[in-house]
Amino acid sequence: GAVVSQHPSRVICKSGTSVKIECRSLDFQATTMFWYRQFPKQSLMLMATSNEGSKATYEQGVEKDKFLINHASLTLSTLTVTSAHPEDSSFYICSARVVQGEAFFGQGTRLTVV
Amino acid sequence: DAKTTQPPSMDCAEGRAANLPCNHSTISGNEYVYWYRQIHSQGPQYIIHGLKNNETNEMASLIITEDRKSSTLILPHATLRDTAVYYCIVRVAGGNQGGKLIFGQGTELSVKP
């Protein structure tokens, strides 16, 4: 299957700082990328959907000013967690797909806010 | 979005077939059934998908009932490495957000020696 790379795989940051997570589709052009969050022992929760060159669409209850998503090219999307707090500590996962194709997932980013 | 119902957990003996059921009674005619799995602390891995016909690939088989209200994922010869959470998802079709995958709780499959 296609490869989606996420970076970094783990990050620890201080409370109040911002963290950027990158998601790249390595061998295909992704028209749509998705960002998920997963807390321990829970399922993946969709945060937002982004299409290249347009603003992301956020799911209900997700703060768009806190979780900034940029999808500047067909192979790169970024998620910035602004002013991170301990409750933002989670496993963040991106997904990329082409139109009408299956979605492929990155390996995830473990964010710990101390 | 159509929702799915899966048993929370299942056990399977190594080398035996693992049959994972999924109910999706409110599925629409143009919605596909997708299966993904997630091994601990990794991103989900695509397994298989189908619309109404049975499908088979190198990883698994997907059996969809004629009324499309349920399906079964079959891992023909389960190994210890198949221990994971398996998610059955009905994909939303169409529009700019077409195809977003909404995850339920999944089935935690434990393959035992």
pLDDT at A19 over 70: yes
**Quick one: pLDDT band at residue A103, thresholds 50, 70, 90?**
confident
- Pick from B41, B101, B105: which is nearest to A103 by CB? B101
**Tokens 């079964």 -> residue:** B72
The chain B residue lying nearest A6, using CA atoms, is B43
Give B67-86 pLDDT, tens digit per residue.
Answer: 999 999 999 999 999 999 99
pLDDT at B2 over 70: no
Residues whose CB falls within 8 Å of the CB of residue A71, separated by 6 or more in sequence, listed in order: A33, A50, A51, A52, A53, A54, A56, A77, A78
Question: Cα(B62)–Cα(B89) distance, rounded to whole angstroms?
Answer: 13
The chain A residue lying nearest B48, using CA atoms, is A102
Give A31-72 pLDDT, tens digit per residue.
Answer: 889 999 999 999 999 999 988 888 899 999 999 999 999 988
End-to-end CA distance of chain A: 36
Beta strands in A3-102 (DSSP E): 4-7, 10-13, 19-25, 32-38, 45-51, 57-58, 67-73, 76-81, 90-97
Q: How far is B77 from chain A (nearest CA, A)?
A: 21
The helix (run of H) or strand (run of E) holding residue B86 is strand B84-90
Report the mean per-residue pLDDT for chain B.
91
Interface membership of B40 toward A (CB under 8 Å): no
Q: Which residue has the higher pLDDT, B38 or B31?
A: B38
The chain A residue lying nearest B94, using CA atoms, is A100
Regarding beta strands A45-51 and B45-50, do their DSSP bridges make them parallel or antiparallel, or are they unpaired?
Answer: unpaired
Chain A residues at the B interface, defined by Cβ less than 8 Å, are: 1, 4, 6, 32, 34, 36, 43-46, 49, 51, 54, 57, 91, 93, 95, 97, 99-100, 102-108, 110
Report the mean per-residue pLDDT for chain A.
92
